[in-house]
């Protein structure tokens, strides 16, 4: 059992509870290992029958663990309930890899309460600055909800002229649209609660690498509690786990220190960390210059994407080019009228032999999304990205943030938005001047802070993402980035791009009614009739 971590010094402490789990996880892992070399399936009872089988079990467990044969510990699965975990910790650690499932509270649809945020361990003066900044952000959140409501009402009335806005259903829809943009001012310290399900091998990986950028104190505490919860039901399951790697030994920390030698930022909460303004400023300027007017810019792709896709289709079917042309092959897998899996809500394409031909075209985008939009983008786990060590993108004297379209369309809201951003940057800079570590000071960063990164994926998984996120009910920022990506892909590969449209379009092509699958959440626009270049929206 790992050593007990008595306190994080975070206020309030995160709550971690093991909600469900596979019975006898340790025995199950060894039973799975023995089954590989047995003429019959080995059960958990078989490995725990008596002293002799238990001794054999423990020898096998240690042997395969040390040899790196870790798929056996992937079978046991654990479902945790997490509460009072910061959005920053979720983005930086819990959702920064593909091997998990989460369902978390949405800031779009649930109003944020003023007291729901993490407070790091700070001395009196620094704590006062921190709390004052959070209060300003929370006040601005509620103020912005009020300021953008008239704009939302006007647009909603234009789209739905026959709806009575005083009706409870539509009042709720309007409130959610207001919250969607107001949340951009909230600090990444804001709490979330969620179900988080992982396999045993992911828990071991969490434990080994929990002390890393960006919030090692919170990450260590949450993972420690996960491990303790599992050890409570099966003390042997984590017995072979290595201790967490010290942060100073992680690759990212060592390289960071080498490249930022003139500004030795410490992230353990024990010593000062000055902003790496020279390097950070240069990177941000260079990145934005290369991105240009785009939110997401296509920077790399397989040049023969269409031809390779078509040939993969022919290979699956075992037919020559003379029997199935490139255009016919592409139409076969991308036309919803011919490929019924594209209009099925269960996403059957990863299981379909023909649809898996879509894995061959590949694209890379240079992107800039707000922290809150990227938190949604990263949930598309099969379209992976290389996300940053956040402090390396922070410039202390230059407020840097994304402004939603709806905020820009409401002058009074825009003024309020700019004021609170200035307040936040001043507070963070002042905390750093007082010697507060970046780890703690950057909890104040707003949801609007830009994440600059590269993202790559294959057509199969981009198709799923693009179709779903081109829906007018999707969050506006990720909707816009998907629109940009589809238009750029279409420009280079028109025979692929012609099939990339909002989710109502595949249904219309397949003859499935209603075309919109969203029910009362219908956006009010016949998007299935529009080409992507004509997509536009305010709410």
Which pLDDT score is estimated for 8?
63
| pLDDT, position 2 | 57
b/e string for 105-114 if b means 16 or more Cβ within 10 A? eebeeeebee
Across the strands, what pairs with 364?
A: 300, 456
In a domain, 211, yes or no: yes
Tell me, rounded to whole angstroms, the distance of Cα 296 from its chain centroid.
16
Residue 186 lies inside a defined structural domain of this protein: no
Residue 284 included in any domain = no
Q: Would 219 be classed as within a structural domain?
A: yes
Please report whether residue 127 resides in a domain: no
209 assigned to some structural domain: yes
> pLDDT tens, 368-401?
999 999 999 999 999 999 999 999 999 998 999 9
Task: Give backbone dihedrals phi and psi of 190, rounded to 5 degrees, phi first.
Answer: -60, 140
Other CB atoms within a 10 A radius of the CB of residue 223 amount to 24
| In a domain? residue 66 | yes
The greatest distance separating any two alpha carbons of the chain, rounded to the nearest whole angstrom, comes to 78
Q: Give me the residues of the chain with pLDDT under 50, please.
A: 1, 6, 264-275
**How many angstroms separate the CA atoms of 77 and 63, rounded?**
22
CB–CB of 528/501 below 8 Å?
Answer: yes
Residue range(s) defining the domain that contains residue 198: 15-105+191-249
Q: What is the CATH number of the domain that holds 211?
A: 3.30.1360.170
Name residues whose C-beta falls within 8 Å of residue 429's C-beta, 6 or more positions apart in sequence: 275, 396, 397
Does the residue 470 lie in any domain? no
Tokens 């967490």 sit on residue: 244
Residue 7 φ/ψ, nearest 5 degrees: -155, 150
Give the count of domains, the chain: 1
Mutual orientation of helices 124-159 and 168-182 as an angle, nearest 10°? Answer: 130
Q: Which two tokens stand for residue 429?
A: 């800079």
How far is the C-alpha of 143 from the C-alpha of 222, rounded, in Å? 33
What does each C-alpha distance from 219 to 27, 138, 249 come to in angstroms? 28, 24, 16
- Is the torsion defined by CA of 186, 190, 195, 197 positive or negative? positive
d(CA 282, CA 263): 15
**Three-state SS annotation for 426-476:** HHHHHHHHCCCCHHHHHHHCECCCEEEEEEEEEHHHHHHHHHHHCCCCCCH
> What residues have CB less than 8 Å from 43, skipping those under 6 apart?
31
Q: Closest by alpha carbon to 155, among 405, 482, 479? A: 405
Please give the pLDDT value at position 497: 98
Nearest to 176 by CA among 520, 461, 513: 520
- Both ends of the chain: CA-CA distance in Å? 51
CA 188 – CA 92 distance, rounded (Å): 11
């Amino acid at each position: 059992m790992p050593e007990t971590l008595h306190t994080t010094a975070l206020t309030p402490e995160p709550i971690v509870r093991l909600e469900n789990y596979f019975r006898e996880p340790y025995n199950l892992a060894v039973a799975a290992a023995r089954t590989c070399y047995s003429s019959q399936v080995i059960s958990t009872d078989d490995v725990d029958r008596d002293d002799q089988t238990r001794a054999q079990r423990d020898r096998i467990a240690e042997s395969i663990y040390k040899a790196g044969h870790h798929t056996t510990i992937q079978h046991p699965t654990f479902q945790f309930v997490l509460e009072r975990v910061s959005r920053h910790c979720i983005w930086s650690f819990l959702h920064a890899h593909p091997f998990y499932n989460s369902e978390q509270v949405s800031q779009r649809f649930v109003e944020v309460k003023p007291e729901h945020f993490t407070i790091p361990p700070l001395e009196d003066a620094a704590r006062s600055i921190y709390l004052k900044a959070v209060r300003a952000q929370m006040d601005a959140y509620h103020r912005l909800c009020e300021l953008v409501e008239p704009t939302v009402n006007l647009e909603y009335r234009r789209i739905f002229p026959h709806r009575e806005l005083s009706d409870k259903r539509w009042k709720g829809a309007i409130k959610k649209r207001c919250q969607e943009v107001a949340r951009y001012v909230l600090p990444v310290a804001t709490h979330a609660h969620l179900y988080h399900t992982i396999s045993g091998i992911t828990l071991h990986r969490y434990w080994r690498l929990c002390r890393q950028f960006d919030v090692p104190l919170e990450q260590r505490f949450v993972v420690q509690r996960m491990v303790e919860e599992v050890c409570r039901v099966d003390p042997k399951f984590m017995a072979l786990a290595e201790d967490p790697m010290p942060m100073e030994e992680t690759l990212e920390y060592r390289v960071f220190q080498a490249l930022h030698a003139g500004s030795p930022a410490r992230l353990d909460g024990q010593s000062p960390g000055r902003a790496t303004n020279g390097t950070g400023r240069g990177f941000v300027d260079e990145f934005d210059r290369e991105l240009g007017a785009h939110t997401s810019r296509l920077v790399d792709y397989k040049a023969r994407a269409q031809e390779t896709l078509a040939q993969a289709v022919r290979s699956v079917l075992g037919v020559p080019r003379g029997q199935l042309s490139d255009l016919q092959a592409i139409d076969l897998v991308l036309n919803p009228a011919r490929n019924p899996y594209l209009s099925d809500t269960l996403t059957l394409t990863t299981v379909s032999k023909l649809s898996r031909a879509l894995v061959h075209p590949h694209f890379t985008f240079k992107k800039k999304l707000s922290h809150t939009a990227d938190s949604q983008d990263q949930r598309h786990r099969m379209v992976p990205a290389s996300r940053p060590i956040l402090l390396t993108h922070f410039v202390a004297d230059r407020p840097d943030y994304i402004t939603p379209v709806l905020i820009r369309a409401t002058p009074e809201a825009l003024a309020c938005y700019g004021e609170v951003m200035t307040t936040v940057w001043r507070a963070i800079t002042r905390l750093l001047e007082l010697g507060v570590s970046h780890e703690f000071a950057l909890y104040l960063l707003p949801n609007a802070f830009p994440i600059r990164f590269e993202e790559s994926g294959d057509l199969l998984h981009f198709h799923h993402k693009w179709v779903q996120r081109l829906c007018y009910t999707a969050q506006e920022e990720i909707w816009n980035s998907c629109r940009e990506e589809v238009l750029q892909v279409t420009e280079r590969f028109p025979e692929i791009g012609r099939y990339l449209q909002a989710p109502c379009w595949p249904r219309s092509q397949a003859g499935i009614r209603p075309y919109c699958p969203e029910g009362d959440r219908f956006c009010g626009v016949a998007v299935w009739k529009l080409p992507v270049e004509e997509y536009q929206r305010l709410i």
